[in-house]
A and B are shown apart, each in its own frame.
Chain A
Amino acid sequence: MAQFKQWALQYVLSDDQSAQLEITQKAAKEIENSRASSTVVGNWAASVHQWMASANSNDDDDQMDDGDDGGSGDIISRAKGSAWLIAALHLALDFLAGTLEALDRTVLRPDQVLRLIGFFGAMFSYDHKAGITASAKALRQLYSMKSFKPDMGIKIFEDVCKIKEDFRLQTAITRLEIYELFLSLVQDPAVSSELLHKYGASCGFAVDLLQLCSNERDPRNLMIWFKIIKILLNEYSPSAEVTEELFKIYSAYFPISLRSSATPIGITADDLKNVLRGCFSAHQRVAPFAFPFLMQKLDQGDAIKAAVKVDILKTIQECIEKYENPQVSVVPYIEKIWASLKYEVRNGEVKETIDATLEVLRAIARKLDGSKTQKLDASLLKDYIDLVFRDCRDDLSNPTYTKQAGLLLMTVITASVRGYVLYNANFIETIRQNLRQPKSPSHTRDLFLLLNSILKTRIDLIKNRKDGHPDDEDQLKGETTSHLDSLFNHVYLPVWTGKVNEPGSEEKDVLKQVAQGLALLVRQRVLDQDGETSLLCPATVCSEICSLFTVTLTRGLTLSSNDNPTHATALEDEVVLALRTIVMNYTDGFTEFVGAAKAGITKRDWSNPSSYSLGALKDLLSRVVFIGCSEIPSKVKTDAPLRQPYSPLQHYITSIATLLDLFPLSPSPSTANSHILSSFHASILWFDDACEAKFKKDTLAKYSTSEKNWDGEYIGLPEDWVQQLARGDLSIDEAIGALEENEPEVYRQYLRLSLFAVRHLYRSAAERLAPWPEEALAQLAQTAALVVRSLDDKLQTSCNLAHHAFDYFDAPESTSKDPVLGLLTVGILQGLRPGAMTGLYKPQGVAERFLCNTSELGLSSRISDIRAAIGIILSNKYKGGANTGDPESSTLTRILRFWSDWIKSSVASSEVNPDTFRALNNVAMHMIAGAVARQDRAAVELISILHEAAASSHINGEIFARSVGILVQPNELLTSENHAVVKRFYKQWAYGQLAKPLYELARPSGEDNAESRARYSVMILSIVRNCPFTVYQDDLEPLIRLLVTALSNSSAGGKLSEEVAYSQAISALEILVEILANEADALKGYLREIIGGATKAYQESAPKHTLTETVKPVTRTVCRKLALQVLGVLPKTFEERYILTYVPQTQRMLALACGDPVRRVREAARLARANWTSVA
């Protein structure tokens, strides 16, 4: 006894929660150890009497009759005031509750639990109401005891409800505790059956609860209170009166909102809305109250905000969806709901409200149709749709309301298969009647929009036919389609032919809808009795639609630029999309379209086309390949057998066969020829995208372990294999296998066909270069890269692609091996994986012979670029070692040594003229760049040679120094997509090896070695310029000094040529822009030099109009613009005090710069000027 009293006292006096927890645990242990002997439990409970009695005596209340020490005069209690006493009593009860929490659930016996419930329940009847929280908490603990009996729940209800009006005086936390208690009780099935047994439908306890809780305002408490109400409504079958009482209570909160509070409580307004909505939709017995109430709220008109309206509508929707027995719960209210809701759509302006309204109407239609398992009587749905139809039919003829009325009708008709089958013919007929007498073009457009929507919905219904009730599918099978069959001839075709020739902008909108509609029409399928689908439109109609669209798309080619001046292609674009949809379903359509396009193209003479014709050709070809290749066609049954048997690759084959047939359009290198190659590339890009979308990229990697040797197969095939397949001379199924549209093999066979086409074009270019403009070769090379890239190591190797890059697929020996064919080599090499290239690196093999060749001394800069590209790939993807062509791993080292030797000897040799040096050096630097990107050890050996070469005082020295940046320049060939080997930090590595050691040597000091210093500086800047800021940020100090020198004396006192001086100045300015953006503080000490340098750079790069000019005008312009950019950033970056001194001179200079002859520079000048003006 004394022990418990002591603990209770400790608990009351303690402020520390963990200490309190420990005490309760000790007490619980004690009770458990005694196996809950009555004495121990009695003592434990009595431990709080000391405060209770005092509190009661203080309150002048009845004493507890069984208290042993009641009012014995505890010293401490007497010493304190009554407020303290009540607080202490609260804590003491908390001690008991805490003990219960810690107590083993099985220890207490039923009689003890009952006694304790009585004890704590009594607390709710005392006037002082101390310890309500603790008591509620204790009651919840008792509820969870094993010996808790359902009838005890009733006692708790009765006891707690005795608190009556005082409930609302409790703190929110206390109330929360009580709500939680109630919730646990009402959702306990045992307690609820006991409550039902005792009170029945009158739910007396619920009425008591309502009185207790009716004024709740705390959001957290409301969340639970609403949950309790929902359970009461749902599971306690309250009588109509009680239901109404309950309804009154919660509906008073509707629409609910939440004031924003500074202390977030973790509950949002939406949470409250949802839980309150749950009360409305809890049970259909609420329907007679809920619907009238909600409708009345909705009919307040403009007095309510859109958000509230949406809340009401969502609530109505949820009620409709959740209520069972719709004949009784929903049907009686439909007319009222419809009457209120139609205006929300008809005259509504807010999208959210309109959408929510339509959802309600759709929910009604679905409810009346029945569920997935049980259909309701058809008359319910019919009556409803009739109601809507009656009200909306007339609106369809009124252009102002056509869209809205159609939307309403569409919503109720298409909500269920049954509604659709019953009413779509009717609806379409009404639209047709209106289309016969349209009020305006926009009216026609809206009507078509509706017609199209219903066609679209039909497609979805047929597609999802298995998801619903089994009757749905049967209904669709039995659907009559005569009204759809006549749509083309009677509705779409007359409008199209009537408007297509002279369309104004409004007519174009109509035509766009017609185009969409025709595509939807061709997509329609009918469901056969065996469950299969076939095209609704006969092949003749499909074919006619295709020819309509073909005329539109090929017209551009036949008109002249004067007849077709508009650049607006919106209608054509729509037709392109529509035709694509059509040919994916009606596959013969594509052959027809391509045939017409091809005939249109070949009819013309392409030897000297106008730019208009070229544009028209480009448009047409681009559309042809988009229509045929951007999707994989579907296999659909048609009424007549197709001319071309189905294959997922048939359109792709037709497209590339047509392009191969058309090439060359002109025997001379014409842009028209390039357009064909571009379209060839496009067809592969589109089909690749389509395959990737359908099969995902990794599909290919997963199964392409094929050992097949396509290269060998190709040799046995006729040159016009693809064309023969397209014409049907050879069977596609035999050539590539009978494939279905979902088979991933489609992806691989597409690559096989593409590689064949690429091979064909490579050979043809190598054999006779005449019709090939350079851009066509470049295009073909990139197409090859695209195809080759997708093949795996094995295929690339088995097809011997590495060698074919150089022999152009064993092309017949041509009269001249033009070096420009190197572009084709780059194409294949670019896509190869390193593992498939090892054969090239045999000692004295292809790579070595090709790379160690300086014979073409007359290299043009273009040829040099091509050779450089080959070089960078070969050195980057080099792989030596066991099982490769170069087991000693020595080839690359040898090649690099060859070039370093060449650099060493030519950089200072006057025998190599600067142009030749520039061209070959470009090749050399790219080759080294490939090795640098993968941090090859062979590249390290070159560093000292590169440093030495840069120091050369010969003119070649500065050309060389300037070119070193190539080593770290971004290069499109060095990407992971191209299977290049690029180390993540190679730029840091290259900078550390190449640039860093030179800072000391480049530092300006006296006149000695001025030339080599100038060249070192050029070299450093050319590297730094191509590196990200983080690479050089540790060396800002020496770098900035270098930048300042480069700007103030860009030609290094005449030691550098003008061209190199400019390039250096531009590099310096670019680096400055970087530093200013990243770590401007480092420049603080150099502002005078920077401002002076930038000003000088601007002034010195003023445009010159002399014939002897060696620097391109654009270089000067870039320099001026950068200088102004640097100047302009300064006032925004530094505090005024740093730049104040320079204001007058800079402003003067910038004012003059505002008159620069180049517009872009003027813009930069104005910006800079405004920034400097804002400096006070």
Chain B
Amino acid sequence: MTDVLELSNITKRFGALTANEDVSLSLAQGEILALLGENGAGKTTLMNILFGHYTADAGEVRVFGDTLPPGKPRAAIAAGVGMVHQHFTLAGNLTVLENVMLGSEPLGRLRSNRAAARKKLMAISDRFGLPVDPDSKVSRLSVGERQRIEILKALYRDARILILDEPTAVLARPEAERLFETLRGMTKDGLSLIFISHKLHEVMAASDRVAVLRGGRMVAERRTSETSPAELAELMVGRKVERPVREDHRIGAPVLLADRITVADEGETKLDDISFTVHAGEILGIVGVSGNGQGALGALLSGLMHPSQGSLTLNGADAGHLGPRGLINAGAARVPEDRHAEGAVGEMTVWENAVLERVRSTEFSKLGFVRQAAARAHAADLIKRFDVRGATPDTRIRLLSGGNMQKLILGRCLATGPRFLLANQPTRGLDEGAIAAVHAELLAARAEGAAILLISEELEEAVQLSDRIQAIVKGRLSQPVTADEADPRRLGLMMAGVWESTDAA
């Protein structure tokens, strides 16, 4: 096999931060290389240098033997490198065909040649088994379909080397598996691929070779067949990381009771006749493929949506119409699904974020004035108790890493000793070390008797943490199964919505 791509001795600094240091990497014809590393290890920076978005401080990039001029994405595209970004770069108001053509035609040309473009797109679509409707608007497509368009866009520009940045971050597992099958097929057609990931199982399942980045340096390269998830995890984190284990203990009385709740929003039924109970000292896991009503369930339990039918009871009192502050006063705490969009105000300080939910309480305000000293002390206490690194009470919260921000949000929730905790995707996008810390906090809260509802798209996590599990499918909830009964096959069936037929049988 010949190398189609070579990165040699790449170094890139952003101010004081060294994002890549002396990184070398090669990719062989027809190979799938996984670039593995925690968040902030320098994976995306490296790929952006390869693609010409960034200019390296040192080192060079060779594609098919020719050195690429630095800082010129067009040169990379012309050399046959295509990049599929983690955050899609599609225009929702244009059609698939228009999106694919965008930027590949000279700006000065008066008429675009749609007929030829359509023919070429359909030929690629057939050849690589990526079915699309060229005339549908991108805004109507699902996330998986949009990703397919991104890949087609790269192939349309005659990419021979494809880079995918965290391609499965937005995909449900079946979609992810389908994606990797497609990618595998593409290598048979002579394409070479690099995909960036921090998920071990998909690296093991889909790659030929793994390169591990840690702290901006290349720490190891392995053939996938000659390594193990345990070894990769250790290489990635730099030490042994073990997720904490749930221990059996006595489950207490019911704390949160949802009785036949239906939630409708603008005429659309988001949650359909759902019932569940969370007991003190119990973690109830809600698993499901993304987009099946988790958002509405989270909003309901955060006080942002209200039942149109049925009742929500917290500690014996109605909680369906309380709103966020009312829920908090009633003993609930909430970890939101998206910490950047909902959990924190990035431009505000750590202390302001730490007290934002309870700023009107007598603890943090008096006669309409904020008790800043008390608020700062509270934030300092959270930072210490929940091991939030790189933060002082006066740090702007957007400067924290994802894991540390999540620890602070979790601390904000747990500081009050809540009776009920909603943990909505609490480890999404976090690295292994931070995941272990979040899991440990959740289990500690469970041990202290909090009733926890965990919404997770990571099956592994749900099974590790939950005492009981229910699946959410199209806004409906399955019957609960206990952790012992929850084998992967059964959960898979539940997530596919087949519990109803088994109930009848």
A and B are partners in one complex rather than unrelated chains = no
